[in-house]
Chains A and B, each alone.
Chain A
Amino acid sequence: MSIFGFHYRMESKAIGLTIGIIVVASIGGLVEIAPLFTIHQTVEDAPDMRVYTPLELAGRNIYIREGCYACHSQMIRTLRDDVDRYGPYSLAVESKYDHPMLWGSKRTGPDLARIGEKYSDQWHVAHLNNPRDVVPVSVMPAYNWLMTTELRTSDLGLHLKAQRAVGVPYTDDMIANAAQDAFAQANPDSPLADGVTKRYGKATTMRSFDGKPSVLTEMDALVAYLQILGRLTEAAHKPVAQAEAAK
């Protein structure tokens, strides 16, 4: 009874209710979220993990803008059929530079966490242009404007800078050359191309993704992004990492 008596008194004070609600509601979040930042094992170590190139980052932003995440997940669960269908299950480290993450919640289309290099660039271009040209029963929308819209690169430096502010290790050199690196990644023959491999590593995919080297389109960016998915680090493919993560 006394607990109800206490409540009866608290109910007559708006401030008592306010404080009560704030305290009671805060506990769950504090206990579940705060340790994720402090417990080291939450995110595996992967020394080979690289950051997105400016072109890939721009492609990721197009993926966000178009709401691809509404139909596609990027999170392979630790379930046998998920792994058999999509590849090794996703590790936390693989999205450690993803601000925000795009794990998704609905698979109207297949998971894309490991779509990188599963198909050719031409396949992606044709598919994005009109999915039904490639998969007749597809319900995915056609994104035919990507091919004809030039990519905006002028503010890519600002993008990298903001990314650095939230913790992604972009260097001053990367920020200063963001726009030209985006151009060069899709123009491997240009003299600027060396800069990209110097800054982002030899393994960076350098090619004209949309097949039209003359202009840098949004299609270039989006395909560059799709082709890197699941390939920023090899961690998930290493048996050791798998075993460790499973522990």
Chain B
Amino acid sequence: MIAQLTLIERQRAIAICIAVAVGGALIMLGGRDDVMGIHGALIFVAGMLMIFRIGMSYYAPEPSEDRLTRYYDDPSRAGIVLAMIWVVFALAVGDWVAWQLVEPNLTFGPAWSSFGRLRPVHTTGVIFGFGGNALIATSFYVVQRTSRARLPDQVTPWFVLLGYNLFCLLAVTGYLMGITQSKEYAEPEWYVDLWLVVVWVIYFVLYLRTLARRKEPHIYVSNWYYMAFILVVAILHIVNNLAVPISLTSAKSYSAFAGVQDAMTEWWYGHNAVAFFLTAGFLGMMYYYLPIRAGRPIYSYRMSIISFWGITFFYMWAGSHHLHYTALPQWVQTLGMTFSLMLLIPSWGSAGNLLLTLNGAWDKVRDDATLRFMMVAAVFYGLTTFEGSFMAIRSVNSLSHYTDWTVGHVHAGALGWVAMITFGAIYASVPWLWKREQMYSPRLVEVHFWLALSGTVIYVFSMWNSGIVQGLMWRTYNEGGTLAFSFIDTLVAMHPYYIARAVGGLFFLIGGCVGAYNVWMTILQPGAAASQAGDVPQPPPASGVLQPAE
């Protein structure tokens, strides 16, 4: 991979790594009395390892000029491998915390392995580690194909990918040591947040630079979604993480907002992290991989437009549905509920558009597990958004909130939609990226599909049950007008469902491991060295598919 870089690019890369290592050393020294110092050491080591790695190939012959006639896919390959590593790790942690709710002694004692510290490791690991790497890898892949332009240089994409992974690593190791802001999905502390801002701005600029070189007059739908994902996540991240550190050499900071304003800002962020990280980005993925894999053009161009702007506009109002019946002023709650209901229109617009795209290709869905992953993802996307709008209704929310129903809803989306579309996209692109005929074992893709689907269904059903049971028990009164059940009664009632959930999660985890094995074996397979049509910026054979059908 380093051999692909020119000498100047190698020098630039080393310069960046030196800057990172020096930054790490400063944090290590400045924060030596604080847990922050350990992070400094980690950054320093990461920088040094990279310098070492580049240095080893520093004198390798330079790549030939004809590299510029091909797309630059090394970062996408690395991103997919990283995504697979993260998913196995983060699903394993998810299942571990699920078992901890069955048998609390499974923390085995130390502070770092208690539920409260591991839970964010799971959520960050799946959302940012797995989802984020898959989004970055596929966005690089997709933007080049749909623009018929090569990435503008070979250092920036690596900076974005590896810088982003450094962010994830600092986040996750931080929680284990107790470094957290406690804001859900925005747990990393101020200095890690600042680092992400740098990476993210460069990511967006890279995207714009690539689009500026495009040879297609129009920007394909997928890129609208990827752009919305990058831009809006930047806005959300910067506003929600405004904070004052207690000193520049301490990890601890205090949020700029307090109480009710903080709650609204946090859920404006949190809900839209779901919208723009876990939805917009993955819709971008879906709008590229599903039509290509099915060999069918997108059903309706106009539906794509309406859905896109609908999602971008309505979602940002919906966050307050997380705060029904709280101390948040009621007018904000009502707005949140109203917009959540309207949100169903663009959401179903997207889901419908994608499912209708499959018309005429249903035989492929039957035979091809990869396409089936994508189809199921679109179905779960439709189901989850319907459920979400339903749960945003105040009276429904009074039952579901604070219970496992929410967790069931989250995982219908996370497992059924995000993970399924990602696995589909990965199974589609791995053979393309590594120039293989097909995956090492299509049978194992099939096995993974059924493990993932059954795991999801078991998970979601058990959480629906436990959530609704618990919600109902909390509000049941005796004839005398007193509460019928103590909290502990409801806790006992959850036990069998927690076992079922952890078993469903285990299925899903095994599926993930099977997928990682299959990807790895595909990479190891000897393949055709010759480049394929899809590597070269000429109208690729599939590009006809990406024209709107109308």
Q: Which residues of A contact B (CB under 8 A)?
A: 4, 7-8, 11-12, 14-15, 17-18, 21-22, 24-29, 31-33, 36-37, 39, 41-43, 61, 64-71, 73, 75, 77-82, 84-85, 89-110, 131-132, 135, 137-145, 155, 158-159, 161-163, 165-168
Q: A37-B261, A99-B255 are in contact. Are A132 and B104 (CB under 8 A)?
A: yes
Question: Residue on A with the closest CB to B120?
Answer: A67
Q: Flag whether B396 is at the interface (Cβ < 8 A).
A: no
B258: contacting residue among A12, A32, A95, CB under 8 A: A95
Instruction: Using C-beta atoms within 8 Å of the partner chain, give the interface range for chain B.
Output: 35 or more
Q: A28-B316, A100-B258, A141-B115 are in contact. Are A17 and B219 (CB under 8 A)?
A: yes
For residue A96, which residues in chain B have a CB less than 8 angstroms away from its CB? 258-260
Asked if B101 contacts A141 (CB within 8 A), the reply is no
Q: Flag whether B195 is at the interface (Cβ < 8 A).
A: no
Q: Flag whether B257 is at the interface (Cβ < 8 A).
A: yes
Q: Flag whether B366 is at the interface (Cβ < 8 A).
A: no
| 7 A-B residue pairings within 8 Å (CB atoms) | A67-B182, A78-B325, A95-B260, A131-B104, A137-B491, A144-B109, A159-B252
Distance, CA A13 to CA B438, complexed state (A): 37
Q: A24-B309, A138-B491 are in contact. Are A17 and B224 (CB under 8 A)?
A: yes
Chain B 176-220 residues near chain A, CB threshold 8 A? 178-184, 208, 211-212, 217-219
Shortest Cβ distance from residue B512 to the other chain A in the assembled complex, whole angstroms: 23
A139: contacting residue among B104, B217, B407, CB under 8 A: B104
Distance, CA A11 to CA B227, complexed state (A): 12
For residue A15, which residues in chain B have a CB less than 8 angstroms away from its CB? 208
Asked if B261 contacts A137 (CB within 8 A), the reply is no
Binds A, one of B55-63, B66-74, B327-335, B422-430: B327-335
Name the prevailing secondary structure of the B interface residues.
helix
Question: Residue on B with the closest CB to A146?
Answer: B111
Distance, CA A42 to CA B333, complexed state (A): 13
For residue A94, which residues in chain B have a CB less than 8 angstroms away from its CB? 259, 327
For residue B228, which residues in chain A have a CB less than 8 angstroms away from its CB? 21, 25
Asked if A85 contacts B487 (CB within 8 A), the reply is yes
B101: contacting residue among A68, A81, A107, A139, CB under 8 A: A139
Asked if B264 contacts A163 (CB within 8 A), the reply is no
- Candidate in A27, A99, A109 with the most chain B CB atoms within 10 angstroms: A99
Shortest Cβ distance from residue A120 to the other chain B in the assembled complex, whole angstroms: 19
Distance, CA A101 to CA B254, complexed state (A): 10
Distance, CA A100 to CA B257, complexed state (A): 7
Asked if A167 contacts B258 (CB within 8 A), the reply is yes
Distance, CA A41 to CA B328, complexed state (A): 11
A140: contacting residue among B104, B239, B474, CB under 8 A: B104
Distance, CA A17 to CA B219, complexed state (A): 9
Question: Residue on A with the closest CB to B115?
Answer: A141
B219: contacting residue among A12, A41, A68, CB under 8 A: A12
Asked if B116 contacts A66 (CB within 8 A), the reply is yes
Distance, CA A64 to CA B120, complexed state (A): 12
A106: contacting residue among B245, B402, B487, CB under 8 A: B402
Distance, CA A93 to CA B265, complexed state (A): 17
Asked if A25 contacts B312 (CB within 8 A), the reply is yes
Shortest Cβ distance from residue A153 to the other chain B in the assembled complex, whole angstroms: 13
Distance, CA A185 to CA B211, complexed state (A): 62
Shortest Cβ distance from residue A123 to the other chain B in the assembled complex, whole angstroms: 15
Q: A18-B231, A25-B235, A101-B263 are in contact. Are A90 and B326 (CB under 8 A)?
A: yes
Shortest Cβ distance from residue B226 to the other chain A in the assembled complex, whole angstroms: 11
A32: contacting residue among B117, B256, B315, B335, CB under 8 A: B335
Asked if A43 contacts B262 (CB within 8 A), the reply is no
A11: contacting residue among B104, B178, B218, B247, CB under 8 A: B218
For residue B492, which residues in chain A have a CB less than 8 angstroms away from its CB? 137
- 12 A-B pairs besides A77-B325, A77-B398, A85-B474 with CB distance below 8 A are A17-B219, A29-B316, A32-B332, A32-B336, A39-B329, A89-B327, A91-B327, A99-B258, A100-B254, A101-B259, A105-B322, A137-B491
Distance, CA A66 to CA B107, complexed state (A): 13
Asked if A99 contacts B256 (CB within 8 A), the reply is yes
Distance, CA A145 to CA B301, complexed state (A): 59
Distance, CA A6 to CA B145, complexed state (A): 25
Distance, CA A98 to CA B181, complexed state (A): 12
For residue B107, which residues in chain A have a CB less than 8 angstroms away from its CB? 141-142
Asked if A81 contacts B483 (CB within 8 A), the reply is yes
For residue A81, which residues in chain B have a CB less than 8 angstroms away from its CB? 474-475, 477, 483
Distance, CA A118 to CA B182, complexed state (A): 25
For residue A24, which residues in chain B have a CB less than 8 angstroms away from its CB? 309, 312-313
Distance, CA A167 to CA B263, complexed state (A): 16
Shortest Cβ distance from residue A9 to the other chain B in the assembled complex, whole angstroms: 10
Q: Flag whether B250 is at the interface (Cβ < 8 A).
A: yes
Q: Flag whether B350 is at the interface (Cβ < 8 A).
A: no
Q: Flag whether B518 is at the interface (Cβ < 8 A).
A: no
Chain B 268-314 residues near chain A, CB threshold 8 A? 268, 301-302, 305, 309, 312-314
Asked if B313 contacts A28 (CB within 8 A), the reply is yes
Distance, CA A155 to CA B232, complexed state (A): 36
Shortest Cβ distance from residue A142 to the other chain B in the assembled complex, whole angstroms: 7
Distance, CA A29 to CA B477, complexed state (A): 39
Q: Flag whether B524 is at the interface (Cβ < 8 A).
A: no
Q: A68-B116, A106-B407, A141-B114 are in contact. Are A77 and B260 (CB under 8 A)?
A: no
For residue B120, which residues in chain A have a CB less than 8 angstroms away from its CB? 67, 70
Chain B 325-368 residues near chain A, CB threshold 8 A? 325-329, 332, 335-336, 339
Asked if A162 contacts B254 (CB within 8 A), the reply is yes
Q: A25-B235, A36-B332, A137-B491 are in contact. Are A101 and B268 (CB under 8 A)?
A: no
